[in-house]
Amino acid sequence: MHQRATIAKQEKQIMGLNLNKLDRRRFLRGSGFALALPLFGSLLPQNLLADPAVNNPKRLGCFYFPDGVPMPLPEDPSYQEWAWFPHGGGTEFTFTNCMTPLESLKGDLTVFSGFSHPQSRSVHGHNNADQFLTGAYIGGGDKEYKNTISLDQEYVKYVGDKTRVASLVMSTDGGTGTARGTHTISFDRNGRPIPAEHRPKQIFDMLFVKKNNDSARRLALSDSALDEMLADAQSLRKTLSKEDQHSLDEYLDSVRQAELKVDKAKQWLSVPLPTVDREQLNLELTTEHPREYLQTMFELIYLAYKTDTTRVATYQIGRENGVGRSDHLARAIGFNLAHQLSHETKNPNGWKNFGLYCQFLNEEFGRFVGKLKENPEPAGTGCMLDNTLLLMGSASSAFHLSRNYPIILAGGKQMGLKHGQYINNAGMNFQGGPWLGKREPWQDQAKGSDLPLSNLYVTMLQRLGVSAESFADSTGVIEGI
């Protein structure tokens, strides 16, 4: 306890000391935007600067798309070209047309099959976006609803106070959605949904434009309250026996740590905002222009990362079960509604059409991954991608089936990730086929046995530097990635 408090204190001094002395601005040019940003990394003492890798941030981005993916059976003529999962396994695998936009990034990513969250495997796919990052039992119908903390927020606990904005939570549909029909994949430590923002302008303002003074006022109130509570507890302490003083010290330590957190938050108020040229961005875009909208959303995350405004972002590209703005994204490639594509796979070209939509999503995701790869880490070593862990996936595969999630993990090589692999846990033993109007794949007896997806999540947390032994219902870590 004591040691932790001391370290935090040192950090505080470093920040307090150097803020006014150093030139905190450093201009970057890239992708047409002029950026001016305060970098806490550069405020560290010189001996730490000797190894620039020390300053490498560790970022996390999580992306969700609904409706599952094309899962034609091997005997289906479309299997070779339009199945979502690659063919092969290990380091020997080939992409289908769904994934061709990621071909050039093959060495920077890993594809997974045969992973899912055990508790919701028999839940209908429409309900399951809620638990993609949490692993909770969501259930269907009229049951009581409970959720738990999401992967990104678990990481925010660890890294949230290192940046001005603890985390960026976005979705195409916006808000929280409803229970079991979520519009956000981020849930706080009490399992409550964190509202997602869908309007580019609001996201931009939140990241790069000064806000009102309410947060300053709240912090000032907390500060005075904590001072008084500390004094109050210390006066109680004097009256206690040695043994009881020892018990109360835990409380005192907690108050002190809370004070440090408030101090840290207050310092952010005085750090100048990064200057980002917004002229190049069309912040009024909506899903009426689906491709441009998607590009802008990814661009905003890129800017937030690059300015180190946040290190954690989630983006739910679409809600489950259609019905909403996100369903219009399919118009980017000439279809009407995205959700419908997943229902019509038995039609001529059904798999292909659905696959083209997935290809489009991977194209935009790939553009974003590629950009992080092209750009060097502003205050560290390597490219931004090497310091960023990106998870892209869905909580269903075959029609409404909550198993064998399609999962891509990209980036993070400087956190020790080994890529260029296909961890094919499902093998050829997967459920699929078109929906023929009757029984659906999710109602069938499960084939094969999935691994808990939380095993991947706890592995990710460890690579991000969190000393987590487990996450949700994880049973271990994933070796070899």
Partner 1 sequence: MILLCASIHAASAAEVDPAAEAELPSLEQLKQTGLTRSRFHSTANGPKALPADGKPPEADLKTFQDKIKPLLTQYCYDCHGADAMEGNFQVSSLDPDILKGKDTEWWAEVFSVVTKGEMPPPDDMDMDEADRRVVVDWLSRELEAASIVRRQSGSHSAFRRLTRYEYNYALQDLLGLPWDFAKDLPPEPHSEEGFENSSDLLHVSVSQFETYHRLAREALDKATVSGPRPEPIYWGISMKQAAEREFKQQDQQVAKAKKEHKDNPEKLAEELAKLEKNAKQTFRTPYYQQLSTGRTAQAEWAYYGARYAFAPIKTKAEFPEDYDHVAILPGGQRRNIVVELGNQIPDEGTMRVTVRASRVGKEDKNFPSLQLLFGWQASNEGRALQRVSEADVPITATPDAPQIVQWEFPLSEIYPRNSVRKTSPMGHTPSPSEYIRIANSAASASDIQIDYVCVEAPVYEQWPPKSHQQIFFESENSGDETAYAREIITRFMTRAWRRPPSPAEVDRKLKLFAVMRPQCERFEDAVLEVLATVLSSPQFLYVAQASPHEAAPIDEANAQQNARLATRLALFLWCSLPDDELIEVASSGKLTDPDILSAQVDRMLADPRSERFSEHFVNQWLNLELLGFVSFKGLDPLLKEAMQHEPVALFEEVMANDASILDFLHADYAVVNERLARHYGLKNVYGNEFRRVDLETNVPRGGLLTQSGVLAMNSDFPDSHPLKRAIWLLECILADPPPPPPPAVPQIDLANPEIAKMTLRERMEDHRSQAACKSCHVKIDPWGLAFENFDALGKWRDDIRGKPVDASSELFNGETLEGMEGLKRFLLDNRQDQFVEATVRKLATFGLGRPLGFEDRAEIDTITAQIRQQGDGLRTVVQTIVHSDLFLSE
User: Is 67 one of the binding residues for partner 1 (CB under 8 A)?
Assistant: no
Name which position in 92, 103, 228, 288 contacts partner 1 (CB under 8 A).
228
Name which position in 3, 190, 270, 445 contacts partner 1 (CB under 8 A).
190
144 or 479: whose CB is closer to partner 1?
144
Binding mask 343-382 for partner 1 (x = CB under 8 A): ----------------------------------------
Element (H, E) at 170: strand 168-171
Backbone angles phi, psi at 281, to 5 degrees: -105, 135
User: Is 198 one of the binding residues for partner 1 (CB under 8 A)?
Assistant: no
For residue 429, the minimal CB distance to partner 1 (Å) is: 24
CB contact at 8 A, 198 and 170 = yes
CB contact at 8 A, 355 and 96 = yes
Contacts of partner 1 in 143-182 (CB under 8 A) = 143-145, 157, 175-181
Q: Which part of the chain contacts partner 1 (CB under 8 A), choosing from 103-111, 138-146, 335-343, 365-373?
A: 138-146
- Residue written as token pair 């108020």: 269
For residue 253, the minimal CB distance to partner 1 (Å) is: 8
CB contact at 8 A, 287 and 297 = no
CB contact at 8 A, 480 and 418 = yes
User: Is 336 one of the binding residues for partner 1 (CB under 8 A)?
Assistant: no
What does the H/E/C string look like for 215-243?
Answer: HHHHHHHHHHHHHHHHHHHHHHHHCCCHH
38 or 68: whose CB is closer to partner 1?
68
23 or 250: whose CB is closer to partner 1?
250
For residue 122, the minimal CB distance to partner 1 (Å) is: 14
28 or 255: whose CB is closer to partner 1?
255
CB neighbour class for 438 (10 Å; exposed up to 12, middle 13-18, buried from 19):
exposed
User: Is 328 one of the binding residues for partner 1 (CB under 8 A)?
Assistant: no
Report how many residues bind partner 1 under the rule CB under 8 A.
50
Nearest residue to 204 via CA among 290, 287, 307: 307
**For residue 149, what are its two tokens?**
């903390």
User: Is 247 one of the binding residues for partner 1 (CB under 8 A)?
Assistant: yes
CB contact at 8 A, 435 and 443 = no
Nearest residue to 432 via CA among 422, 442, 423, 421: 442
Type of residue numbered 433: G
Residues of the shown chain interacting with partner 1 in the complex, contacts defined by CB under 8 A: 124, 126-127, 140-145, 157, 175-181, 189-190, 217, 220-221, 224-225, 228-229, 231-233, 235-236, 238-241, 243-244, 247-248, 250-251, 253-255, 257-258, 261, 320-321, 323
